[in-house]
Structure 1
Amino acid sequence: MAHYALLQMFALLLVAHTLADYPLQGEFLSRAKNRQAPVPGVPWYQALAAHGVIHGGAVGWITGSVTLGVLETLVHMLIDDFKCANRISYDLDQALHVGCKVLWLVLLQVFGPLP
Structure 2
Amino acid sequence: MVERVQATAACLELIDQLREKHGPLMFHQSGGCCDGSSPMCFAQGDLFLGDQDKKLGEIGGCPFYIHEDQYEYWKHTQLIIDVVDGRGGIQTRFCLGDLFIQVACTESCFCSYYSVLTG
TM-score range, shorter chain: under 0.3
**What TM-score comes out, normalization by structure 1 length?**
0.28
- Write 1 or 2 for the structure with the bigger share of helix: 1
**What TM-score comes out, normalization by structure 2 length?**
0.27
Greater relative contact order, per chain length (Cα 8 Å cut-off, separation 6+): 2
- Write 1 or 2 for the structure with the bigger share of strand: 2
